[in-house]
Structure 1
Amino acid sequence: MGKFQRSKVTTRQPGSAPAPTYTVNDLLTQANQALDTFEFELAHQFAMRALQMEPQNLAALEAAGSIEVELELFNEAKEHFLQCVKIQPNSGYSKFMYLGQMSEQLEAISYFQQGVNLMIAERAAMPQDLTKGSEYLTLSSKISSALCSMTDIYLTDCCFEPNAESQCEAYLAQAIQIEPVTPEVYQTMASVRLSQQRVDEAKAALAQGLALWLGSDPTEEDGPTPDYETRLALVKLLLETAMYDEAFTVLNGLIEENDQVPDTLYLFGWANYIAAEEVDESSPTADEERQEQLENAREALNACVKLWHATESTDQPLLQHTQELLETITQVLGPEIEQEEIEGGEIEYEDDDEEMN
């Protein structure tokens, strides 16, 4: 028989450094530092390590949930925020905002409403000398944005609720009262007016919202310019209400900011296609104008298709409409020239017979 081998016990040598120990606060600090450099996976590891140490720690639960939203781990995030609600149901609005975004229909409305109530209470409790400060204004903007989200839910998922229209009007009125200079409110109002077939009022709301930010610097921190996604939605409303000049102004700003977004290129192509259809036939240059608009549309739509595949987009309706537009443009302009190479100003084509041999 072999001899029994006693396991070796490693002992710390005198004078050697002890194993490092971390507190929950240390781990959450590390998570925040990782977030600052967009290392979401690493941040999540730190947050989960903190939760292993203290499973009911509110800060750790909120940190884990917010990081999981960034990682699109929505089921895990929702579970962590629900735990936060159990621990602290009557304060801390952020968890309710997250839950509202991850929920649907009336459940989402309920979470948003709880968050709005907490924000309004927090805003009302601020000392008078802070009512013009950045913290007060930021909170007002968040309340207004949440009310717009609630309006959007009643416009879409809950549109068949008997009180849908009255709720939309109530939320909009409250949002304007709280933050009358937020472009998002007037954009949401335009959506409501369009759903009511009140097109002129929708145009007026869009114009009012545009006047609040158009011409400002989109890169300015905390500036009045709406975020990229909000401006994309705005372009759709501007096209729907035939406000083409304004649509192109917003689109040009979006493309200058980031021209690698399929939705932006699609809308730019779609806008040019519409502009071609709207060319004044009485103009002596109508044909040239129409051709230029269609060529611009084709260039943007071709770029959209390439980006759609490159980014592995899943928006099939966008791709389908883009391809339909390209087919229609080809019927008008003819097929694009397949260029082998250009030498001396002449285009050289491949010979079909040679290609077959």
Structure 2
Amino acid sequence: MARTKRTKPGGRQRAEIAAEKQATAAATAALSTPSSNASASTSQPPVEELLGKAHTLLAQQDYELASRFLARILTTEPSNIEARELLGVCDLELGNVEEARNHFLHLVSTSSDLSSPYLYLAQLASSPQESLAHYESAVRILEVQLKELVEGKETEEGDEDEQVVEKDLRKQISGALVGMTEVYLTDLCFDPLAPEKCDLLLSKALSVSPQDPEAWICLASVRMSQSREIDALSCIEKGWQDWRGKELGDPLIPALPTRLSLTRILLELQKYAFAIELLRGIREEDEEEVEAAYLEGWAWFLWGEEVALLASAEGTEKKEPRPAGVDVGEGDEVPEKKECWEEARESLSVCEVLHRAQNHPSPEVLAHVRELLAQLDAAGIRPAQGIVDEEDLDGMEDGEGDWGDDDDDEDEEMVE
């Protein structure tokens, strides 16, 4: 019942990052380098300001500079839990795995009621058993916090703040149980008890958070590994119904890795149109997400093959409703093979450019993209004009373009 591990989400859109930078420019400008004759008590910005700036830099994915702010905090407040955890996150993003691990281990050794360091340690574990142990520790802490919250409420529903905290705790518990399930779906997939463990863990997750899309989508993956495709479709329906069609940024929309997992299941189920609908939303949110571009091209390619097979077998094009966001063809007819493959060519060409520009760590993706492009070339499907801008690619590879931040100099001064 082996399954593929979920990949880490990619970067965010440039426009979104630029907007965040503009929104914080005024606040950043107000923070200046301390004067040489300042007193010890005012020789640096307050910790709250440094933490705020670190959060802003994390949102902009400037992990290097954020880590310097956080390290500065820890020089004056070594016990600052938030700063140490965020510094661990920065080290993780920068590839400093051992440094990150040490920060999280320090936190769990000094604080008995923190669950998040255990969740990070579960992802950094050297064995599946160690990963499961960290997840279990996180779940125990979260369950105690949830129990205390529920028992302490003055009314059955609690006030608005209590409802928000309770929902978040339930989602965190469910997420940790899903993480444990994925260990059994990957590293422990050959364990004879893996199917039973997966069912028990996800049953518990859904009892804690019945509408958690991540749990439903993970259950769909389990059902696929058990060759229970009809049950998998039922899980997908329950996991997608609450957020399908929502505007970008809606809190009901799950994280990008969860949506990519759903896309892969839809492709396995040969639900190409629905996969493309989902992928178009992902690419609208993050136009530089390599895997989304790859999966969209792969979905169009497979759909084109299916259309050709159906036409050959039935002598006519099959008709079915087209999901929202899939706009090729006319009326309710499935697009023709050529239309599908032209769309595939566009997405795969973009994927190839992004893969090169980002030096993406998945050579197998690039190899498959090039294999598919060669097949499209052989079929006479040529790239449309303007899909790939080589000047933009050169700029990205050279570190140019609109990634610069006019506030970087001020940030550098502030952290000195």
The TM-score by the shorter chain falls in which range?
A: 0.7 to 0.9
Q: Which moved more, 1:123-132 or 1:20-29?
A: 20-29
CA contact (8 A) 2:345 2:383 kept: no
Higher radius of gyration, 1 or 2: 1
CA contact (8 A) 1:182 1:212 kept: no
2:170 alignment counterpart: 140
CA contact (8 A) 1:58 1:87 kept: no
Q: Distance in 2 between matches of 1:59 and 1:276?
A: 50
User: Which stretches in structure 2 are left out of the alignment for 5+ residues?
Assistant: 1-35, 319-333, 387-416
1:123 aligns with 2:123: no
1:265 alignment counterpart: 293
1:226 alignment counterpart: 254
CA contact (8 A) 2:87 2:100 kept: yes
User: 1:121: Cα distance to partner?
Assistant: 0.7
Q: Normalising by structure 1, report the TM-score.
A: 0.81
2:191 alignment counterpart: 161
User: 1:20: Cα distance to partner?
Assistant: 3.1
User: 1:112: Cα distance to partner?
Assistant: 0.9
1:343 alignment counterpart: none
2:74 alignment counterpart: 51
User: 1:337: Cα distance to partner?
Assistant: 8.6
Q: Distance in 2 between matches of 1:57 and 1:254?
A: 36
1:69 alignment counterpart: 92
- Which of 98, 111, 120 matches 2:134? 111
Q: Distance in 1 between matches of 2:225 and 2:385?
A: 45
Q: Deviations over 1:276-318 (max 9, x none)?
A: 1111313556898111111111121111111111111121111
- Which of 213, 225, 230 matches 1:183? 213
CA contact (8 A) 2:282 2:292 kept: yes
CA contact (8 A) 1:276 1:289 kept: yes
- Which of 113, 120, 124 matches 1:91? 113
User: 1:214: Cα distance to partner?
Assistant: 0.5
Cα 1:28/1:337, change in 2 over 3 Å: closer
User: 1:183: Cα distance to partner?
Assistant: 0.8
Cα 1:45/1:21, change in 2 over 3 Å: farther
2:51 alignment counterpart: 31
Residue 125 of structure 1 aligns to a residue whose secondary structure is: helix
User: 1:56: Cα distance to partner?
Assistant: 5.3
CA contact (8 A) 2:229 2:269 kept: yes
User: 1:83: Cα distance to partner?
Assistant: 1.5
Q: Deviations over 1:296-352 (max 9, x none)?
A: 11121111111111111121111111111111122222666999xxxxxxxxxxxxx
1:101 aligns with 2:131: no
2:64 alignment counterpart: 41
Cα 1:46/1:259, change in 2 over 3 Å: closer
Q: Distance in 2 between matches of 1:334 and 1:64?
A: 48
User: Which stretches in structure 1 are left out of the alignment for 5+ residues?
Assistant: 1-15, 340-357
Q: Deviations over 1:172-222 (max 9, x none)?
A: 0010000011111111001111111111111111122111210122312xx
Q: Distance in 2 between matches of 1:256 and 1:267?
A: 14
Q: Which moved more, 1:97-106 or 1:129-138?
A: 129-138
User: 1:245: Cα distance to partner?
Assistant: 2.7
Aligned length: 321
Cα 1:28/1:62, change in 2 over 3 Å: farther
| Relative contact order higher in (CA < 8 Å, ≥ 6 apart) | 2
Q: Distance in 2 between matches of 1:149 and 1:294?
A: 36
Cα 1:284/1:194, change in 2 over 3 Å: closer
- Which of 306, 328, 331 matches 2:375? 328
User: 1:33: Cα distance to partner?
Assistant: 2.3
Q: Deviations over 1:229-258 (max 9, x none)?
A: 221221111010122232122122122223
Q: Distance in 2 between matches of 1:158 and 1:24?
A: 50
CA contact (8 A) 2:170 2:208 kept: yes
Residue 278 of structure 1 aligns to a residue whose secondary structure is: helix
